[in-house]
Structure 1
Amino acid sequence: MDLTVVSYAVYLVISLGLTVWVARTLSRNGRVFLADVLHGNEKLADAVNHLLVVGFYLVNLGFIALYLRDDTTVADARGVFEVLSRNLGVVLLVLGAMHLGNVYVLNRFRRRGLMDREQVPPVAPQGYAGQQGPWTAPASPAGGR
């Protein structure tokens, strides 16, 4: 068997394993985070979590498939390790960037949710427009039209 094919096979097995592991880790730990962001709405948290995991798989598996192609011919065991280290290093960097991107976006959602919970109106409401209140002119005296 050609060593290039061996390097492709090993690359696919390791890349797919890493992608599944990272996705499961993000899904398991991200669910708690999403439940907090979404004010305890568990069903919505599960749905958003599932959508994020599907998007994560699509982006990463697409990248792995596109990055599989390599123009170098592997001649010996050293070449296999060099190709694998380069390809897996790039896949790990992409997985890390995707993870950090997810955490950043979720943290922004969480901060916005916390600000919404703590925010109080600047002035307490005193009535509706058109009602007589402290800001309207007093009624005209009787008989003085």
Structure 2
Amino acid sequence: MSWTVITYLAYLLVAVPITVWVASTLSRNGRVFLGDVFDDDHALADAVNRLLVVGFYLLNLGFVMLYLRGGGEVLDLTGLLETLSLKIGIVMLVLGAVHFVNVLVFSSMRRRGRRDAAHPQQAQQVPPPYMTYPPAPQR
């Protein structure tokens, strides 16, 4: 077995469990946050949480699989460690970026929901985006 194959196996043995651990941690701890975002509608929060976990797995495990081949041939133990650290580091950065984007989206939803709850008159007065454009000229 070549050093390259050993690197591939080590990469998968590290990257897949990290992805599973991050997904389960985010799912478990994000449940409370989503409950708040969706005004304590726990059925909706749980459904969104499950959908996010499925999307998280598809996106991140897909990236792990696609990134398996990159890096070139590994010739020795030093190359194995260097390639493995680079690949795992990039996978962890992608996991962090996906998590950061999710937190930003749900934080903005939460802020908007709280603002609308505090000022219900203003929430109703905001016209939909399609009504803000002037009408088309008549010909």
Same fold (TM > 0.5)? yes
TM-score, structure 2 as length reference:
0.84
- Which protein is bigger by CA-based radius of gyration? 1
How far did 1:71 drift? 5.1
CA contact (8 A) 2:27 2:53 kept: yes
1:40 aligns to what SS in structure 2? coil
Unaligned runs of 5+ in 1: 123-145
Count of aligned pairs between the two proteins: 122
Residue in 2 aligned with 1:121?
121
Letter paired with 2:102 = N
Change (3 A) 1:71 1:31: closer
How far did 1:97 drift? 0.3
CA shift digits 1:110-139 (9 cap, x unpaired): 1011111101426xxxxxxxxxxxxxxxxx
TM-score, structure 1 as length reference:
0.81
The structure where helix makes up a greater share of residues is 2
| Percent identity between the two aligned chains | 55
Q: Which stretches of structure 1, 4 residues or more, deviate above 4 A after TM superposition? A: none
Matched, 1:110 2:110: yes
Change (3 A) 1:23 1:71: closer
> What is the CA–CA distance in structure 2 between the aligned matches of 1:121 and 1:70, rounded to whole Å?
55
Unaligned runs of 5+ in 2: 123-139
CA shift digits 1:62-119 (9 cap, x unpaired): 1001100135211110010011011111101100101111111110111011111101
Residue in 2 aligned with 1:83?
83
CA contact (8 A) 2:71 2:83 kept: no
Change (3 A) 1:103 1:14: same
CA-based RMSD: 1.1
> What is the CA–CA distance in structure 2 between the aligned matches of 1:57 and 1:25, rounded to whole Å?
13
